[in-house]
Amino acid sequence: MKPAGKQNSARAAARRKITGLQLRLAEAEEALRAIRNGEVDAVVVAGADGDQIFTLDGAGLAYRVLIESINEGALTLTAGATILYANQCFAKMAGCPLEQVMGSSFRRFLSAEAGPSFQQALDHTAESGAKIQVMLHARDGKQMAAQISLRALGPGTSSKAAFGMVVTDLTESRRSEERLRALTHRVVQAQEAERSRVASELHDRITQPLCAVVVQSQVLVAALSPPHASALRKAAKALRDQLGRTADEVERISRDLRPSVLIDLGLEAVVIDTCAAFAKRTGISVNVSCPSLEAPMSPDVDLTLYRILQEALENAGTHARARHVKVRLTQQAGFAELSISDDGIGFDPDRPSARVNAGGLGLLGMRERANYVGGAFTLRSGRRAGTSINVKVPL
C-alpha cells in the first residue's frame, strides 16, 4: 500500500491535469465557434518548427453561413455546369442528399425542354446576368417550377467556379397566380351576368316604351294636317325624331351590354357591325379586314375578342384622338388573331394610370381576358406613335 501522503499528492496532480484539459477544451470550443462565425482572420499554431500562421477567409465563411440560412437554392458552377457548391435548400428542392448533388451536372435536374434555354443563358450571362424560368426534376420524379438567376463570377473567385446561381421555387407564386386568375374570371362572369340583367331591363322597361311613344308621335304627326297646324306638325316631327334617336341609342347600349348577336350572327359579322357603328358614331375612319372564319370558336373566345375590340375602339375614340383605325381578324395555323391599331397620340404603357381606364377594362382587364382563354396579349405604343394591340388565341 502507498502511504496516504503520496495518494493525496497523486489525486491532486490528476485533478490539476483534468482542470487543465478542461480549460484547453473550452478554449478549443471557443476558437471553433469564432471560426464558424467568421470572427477570426488567422490562427497561430505552435509546432516543432515554430509558430505557423493559417489565414482564414472570415468574410467568406460568414457568407456561407448566410447562404445556408436563406430559403432559396444557391449554387456555384463550373463553365460546363458542374456543381461545385450547393446549399441544403437546393438539395431539398432536388430531393437528393447534398453529397450526391455536388460534383454532378446541373443539367441532370432540368427538363429536356429547358436545356437549350439554360445553355443560352450560360452563353449570355457574362454580359449582364440572366434569368430564366424552367421546370426542375427532383429525384423522386416530382417537377417544380423555378426561376434561375445566373451571374458570371469575377476573377477573384476560385479558378474553377465560373457561375453563381440562385434557384427560386415558383410553386406558391404559380398557385397564387392561378387563384388570382380564377378570381378575375369569376369577377368577369359576374360582370357579364350583371350586364345581361341591365340589358334585359333596358330592353323591357326602356326600349319598348320608347318605341311605343315613337309610334304615338308618328300618329300625332299624321293627324296634324297642314296648312293650319304646320308649326305644330313641325314640332311633332322634331319630337318624333328625337325619340327615335333616343330609342336607337338605348338599343345600342343594350346590344353592347349583352352581345346576343354573337350567338345569332357569329363573331365575324359582329366585328364588321361594331366597327361600322363606331365609325358612324365617332366619325373616325375604320378599315376592317375580316376574312371568312372557317373553324368554329368557343363562346368564351368569341366574347373575349369582342370585349377587347370594344375596349380598344373606345380607347381610340376617347383617349387616343385617332383619325384612322385598322381592325383585322384572321384564323391560321390553329389560332385566331385580332389586331387593332390606330394613328392616335399614343401613351406610355408602363405608367400605372395607363393600365386601368375608368369605367372600362383597361389594359389589365384585356390582358387577363386573353390569358384566361389561353391567349397572348401584346401592346405597342409610344408618345405620338399610335397604339397597336394584338391578341392571339388557340382554337
Q: Quote the pLDDT of residue 137.
A: 82
Tell me which of 56 and 344 has the higher pLDDT: 344
User: Residue 319 contacts by C-beta under 8 Å, 6 or more apart in sequence?
Assistant: 344, 347, 357
pLDDT exceeds cutoff 80 at 22: no
Percent of the chain whose predicted confidence (pLDDT) is above 70: 78
pLDDT exceeds cutoff 50 at 355: no
Q: Quote the pLDDT of residue 342.
A: 93
Tell me which of 37 and 343 has the higher pLDDT: 343
pLDDT exceeds cutoff 70 at 126: no
Q: Which CATH architecture has domain 260-395?
A: 2-Layer Sandwich (3.30)
When the pLDDT of each residue in the chain is averaged and rounded to a whole number, the result is: 77
Predicted structure pTM score: 0.51
Distance from C-alpha of 312 to C-alpha of 374, rounded to nearest angstrom: 20
Choose the weakest-confidence range: 12-16, 56-60, 137-141, 267-271.
56-60
* Mean pLDDT for the stretch of residues 325-347: 90
Chain centre to alpha carbon of residue 214: 52
The backbone torsions φ and ψ at residue 227, rounded to the nearest 5 degrees and listed phi first, read -90, -10
CATH class of segment(s) 58-169 = alpha beta
Q: Which cell numbers hold the place of 286?
A: 375604320
Confidence class for position 59, pLDDT limits 50, 70, 90: very low
Range among 20-29, 94-103, 263-272, 384-393 with highest mean pLDDT value = 384-393
Distance from C-alpha of 56 to C-alpha of 58, rounded to nearest angstrom: 6
How deeply is 204 buried, as exposed, middle or buried, from its count of CB atoms within 10 A (0-12, 13-18, 19+)?
exposed
Choose the weakest-confidence range: 92-106, 143-157, 250-264, 345-359.
345-359
Q: Quote the pLDDT of residue 79.
A: 84
Q: Quote the pLDDT of residue 194.
A: 73
Task: Please name the residue ranges forming H helices in 37-139.
Answer: 58-69, 88-94, 98-101, 114-128
Q: Quote the pLDDT of residue 58.
A: 47
Contact 375, 389 (CB under 8 A): no
3-class DSSP assignment, residue 52: strand
Task: Please name the residue ranges forming H helices in 207-298.
Answer: 208-223, 230-257, 261-265, 267-282
User: Residue 30 contacts by C-beta under 8 Å, 6 or more apart in sequence?
Assistant: none
Would you list the DSSP string of 163-207? EEEEEEE-HHHHHHHHHHHHHHHHHHHHHHHHHHHHHHHIIIIII
Tell me which of 205 and 171 has the higher pLDDT: 171
Percent of the chain whose predicted confidence (pLDDT) is above 90: 10
* Mean pLDDT for the stretch of residues 25-45: 59
The residue type at 302: D
pLDDT exceeds cutoff 90 at 390: yes
Range among 116-125, 284-293, 321-330 with highest mean pLDDT value = 321-330
Tell me which of 234 and 64 has the higher pLDDT: 234
Q: Which of 349, 359, 271 is nearest to 308 (CA)?
A: 271
Q: Which cell numbers hold the place of 391?
A: 391578341
